[in-house]
Amino acid sequence: MPKATFFNLKEEKRQILIDAAKQEFSRVSLYEASISNILKTAGIPRGSFYQYFDDKEDAFFYLLNEHAQERHECLISNLKKFDGNLFKAISEIFKSTLEHSEDKGQRDFIRNVLLNMNYKIENTFSQYLSEDVANERYDDIYDLVNAEQLNVANRKEMFHVMQILTAVTFHNLIHSVSNNLSISDAMKKYETELGLLQSGLLRSSS
């Protein structure tokens, strides 16, 4: 988490910093990014950066978290829109992420995040899927999902469904970006796999 000093900053200056950081993390991955570049772009002295953040990870995860929150709200609203149909809601998120990653500005940041996704980054995105039953954000989702249509008996099994969907969705996002698939090719692949997930990988014994 950024330090208090960062949040005490004047709106304008904070935005300059955020923009500079985002620009650097759009250029290269977290690991290749250099604080020096952020300083140069933002026009602040070295020491100041360390007043606001612990290190570049701190700045990166601050930005990422903002994104993740947007995604989470998007999922909630999609669930409402599609009457709790989890597959439709998640497929819509998938699509909008790909479209987002066509926007100039957002594009390269999201690309870099996806191409360097690891468990820590993924957790930032999907913290609300915690197994921890006390987790509020998970409750939000659980309550909205129409569990009737799912092959689950209780909240615990629902957790596994979310895990599977998360895994397959991220896997497809990353695959799409790393192979430069067109949005329509990416959607075709993803929806094929969602279809398989729904009906099951085993042939129904006939």
Contacts of 111 (CB under 8 A, 6+ apart): 101, 177
1 is an interface residue for DNA by CB under 7 A: no
Site string for its own copies, 122-151 (x = CB under 8 A): --------------------------xxxx
96 is an interface residue for DNA by CB under 7 A: no
161 is an interface residue for its own copies by CB under 8 A: yes
150 is an interface residue for DNA by CB under 7 A: no
* 3-state SS, residue 118: coil
> How many residues form the binding site for DNA (CB under 7 A)?
20
State the CB neighbour count (10 A cutoff) for residue 199.
10
Of 161, 167, 163, 170, residue with least CA distance to 97:
170
Of residues 80, 178, 182, 185, which one binds its own copies by CB under 8 A?
178
CB 6 within 8 Å of CB 52? yes
Site string for DNA, 17-56 (x = CB under 7 A): ----------------xxxxx------xxxxx-xxx--xx
| Alpha-carbon span 67 to 166, nearest angstrom | 16
User: Which residues of this chain interact with DNA, rule CB under 7 A?
Assistant: 4-5, 8-9, 13, 33-37, 44-48, 50-52, 55-56
